């Protein structure tokens, strides 16, 4: 998995060494020798990861990181701070500035590439979600701003075989978050599938394998995207690397420093909320793309996709597919007499009656204007005609209450019914026959159902 990486360091030898190592692993590398240049390149090129030295003249790494995170165009880029300093205060300062992680000089190659691979996977997910969200905004199906994403009040699941140790950890983070302790890994898997923002797992647990537990979370679709912070022994370098390889989002040496733990939890919860926000917007945009907003039924685009598949299956020997094309009689007169608001009420009420009078397998859709289509899988013409008649009777049998119940309107419909006829048939031909049925129904006086076999 390759990535575009920006390396920032004021010492040329350090830059060239990192560039050589990353290029040898087929990463695309750009470089900068100072903070101002780094900010310019990041804004222009939008790299996948930034490896940023802390100790630089002029603008130091902490300031550069904070500026990157303040810019909406670059705040999603993971930043790894690189420093010769290994102090607790520097790590906390960097995490509070928005850094994803720290690497200490001299850089361990194994840890470097483990971090890069882990962050690259995360960045790919974020990029995909952001791209789809941007597409939704361009076509007008996503609006509004993100909710407050402050990283506080998170629902934290602490998984540790030592109850007292887990409760002590929960006590430390309980001031800003809502922790729950679980000592049984099987019960923890069930809890993780619920409303959880972060899992903290003791990777050095004796009663169970913390990394195997994490791998199980990553293999379950319900918990695959859930952030995991692993607590590891400081001298167990191999377990640290393996944790990152299997998908742990962050690692922290035991015993965890309370302030550093708080900073890392805040980062992970904030990241989780950001990705949830993007996913929710994406789900909403997909729903809007296939739904008619006035009636709540599926729209014409979705109907065509489903009908194409069903008709192809039918002409290859599958079950018949029928279609109802429905037109509300004299709908223009309703709009002209009572106004478009009442017309919209009629459309919504009709959609409700339509949806309640077809079967669960049927697909009622708004085709456009006052026209509706019902796609009916595994349905011969005779059955489709019976259902169409039931819909017609329901609509004509009781008036529509409109204008906040002050008016009662008698509404009728004309329905054309068609069914697939085997080899050579097409979705377009099926709908055309149904349309011819509507035309005949209207010509015969409306409020009628007409089937067109061929």
Which has the closest alpha carbon to 204: 254, 170, 164, 167? Answer: 254
Query: What is the rounded CA–CA span in Å between residue 429 and residue 418?
Result: 9
Non-local (6+) Cβ contacts of 220 within 8 A are 189, 193
Q: Which helix (H) or strand (E) holds 251?
A: strand 250-253
Paired with 417 in beta bridges are: 324, 451
Name which of 331, 321, 313 is nearest 400 in CA terms: 331
Question: Residue 208 has which token pair?
Answer: 């169970």
Question: What are the structure tokens assigned to 149, written together?
Answer: 């994403």
Active site residue 370: yes
DSSP state of 194: S
Which one is catalytic: 133, 182, 320, 370?
370
Closest of 393, 434, 392, 397 to residue 413, by C-alpha: 392
- Residues 338 and 331: beta-carbon distance below 8 Å: no
- How big is the chain, counted in residues? 454
- Distance CA(227)–CA(242), nearest Å, equals 16
Which residues lie across from 83 on neighbouring strands? 104
Q: Please state whether 58 falls in left (phi above 0), alpha (psi between -120 and 50) or beta.
A: left
CA 81 to chain centre: 29
Q: How many CB atoms lie within 10 A of CB 349?
A: 17
Which residue pairs, CB below 8 angstroms and at least 24 apart, start in 71-76? 71/43, 73/43, 73/46, 74/42, 74/43, 74/46, 76/123, 76/126, 76/127, 76/130, 76/274
CB 353 within 8 A of CB 391: yes
SS3 272: helix
Are the beta carbons of 25 and 1 closer than 8 angstroms? no
List the catalytic residues: 370
């Amino acid at each position: 998995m390759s990535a575009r990486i920006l390396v920032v360091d004021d010492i040329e030898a350090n830059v060239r060494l990192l560039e050589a190592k990353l290029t040898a692993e087929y990463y695309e590398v750009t470089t900068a020798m100072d903070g101002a240049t780094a900010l310019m390149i990041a804004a222009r090129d939008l790299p996948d990861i930034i490896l940023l030295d802390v100790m630089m003249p002029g603008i130091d790494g902490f300031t550069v990181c904070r500026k990157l995170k303040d810019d909406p165009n670059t705040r999603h880029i993971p930043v790894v701070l690189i420093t010769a300093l290994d102090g607790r205060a520097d790590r906390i300062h960097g995490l509070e500035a928005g850094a994803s992680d720290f690497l200490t000089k001299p850089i361990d190659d194994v840890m470097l590439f483990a971090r890069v691979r882990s962050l690259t996977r995360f960045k790919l997910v974020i990029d995909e979600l952001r791209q789809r969200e941007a597409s939704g905004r361009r076509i007008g199906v996503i609006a509004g701003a993100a909710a407050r994403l402050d990283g506080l009040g998170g629902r934290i699941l602490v998984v540790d075989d030592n109850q007292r140790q887990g409760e002590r950890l929960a006590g430390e983070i309980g001031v800003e978050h809502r922790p729950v302790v679980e000592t049984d890994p099987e019960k923890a898997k069930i809890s993780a599938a619920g409303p959880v923002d972060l899992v903290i797992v003791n990777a050095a647990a004796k009663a169970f394998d913390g990394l195997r537990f994490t791998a199980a979370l990553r293999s379950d679709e319900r918990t695959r995207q859930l952030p995991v912070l692993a607590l590891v022994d400081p001298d167990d370098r191999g377990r640290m690397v393996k944790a990152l390889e299997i998908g742990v989002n962050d690692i922290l040496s035991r015993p965890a420093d309370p302030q550093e733990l708080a900073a890392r939890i805040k980062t992970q919860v904030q990241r989780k909320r950001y990705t949830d926000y993007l996913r929710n917007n994406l789900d909403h945009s997909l729903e809007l793309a296939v739904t008619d907003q006035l009636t709540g039924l599926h729209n014409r685009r979705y109907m065509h996709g489903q009908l194409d598949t069903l008709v192809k299956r039918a002409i290859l020997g599958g079950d018949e597919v029928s279609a109802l094309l429905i037109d509300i009689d004299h709908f223009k007169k309703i709009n002209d007499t009572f106004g478009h608001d009442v017309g919209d009420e009629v459309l919504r009420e009709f959609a409700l009656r339509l949806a309640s009078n077809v079967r669960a397998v049927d697909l009622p859709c708004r085709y456009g204007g006052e026209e509706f289509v019902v796609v009916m899988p595994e349905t011969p013409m005779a059955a489709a005609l019976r259902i169409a008649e039931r819909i017609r009777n329901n609509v004509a049998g009781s008036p529509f209450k409109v204008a906040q119940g002050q008016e009662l309107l008698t509404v009728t419909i004309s329905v054309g019914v068609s069914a697939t006829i085997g080899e050579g048939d097409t979705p377009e031909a099926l709908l055309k026959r149904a349309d011819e049925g509507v035309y005949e129904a209207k010509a015969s006086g409306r409020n009628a159902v007409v089937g067109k076999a061929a």
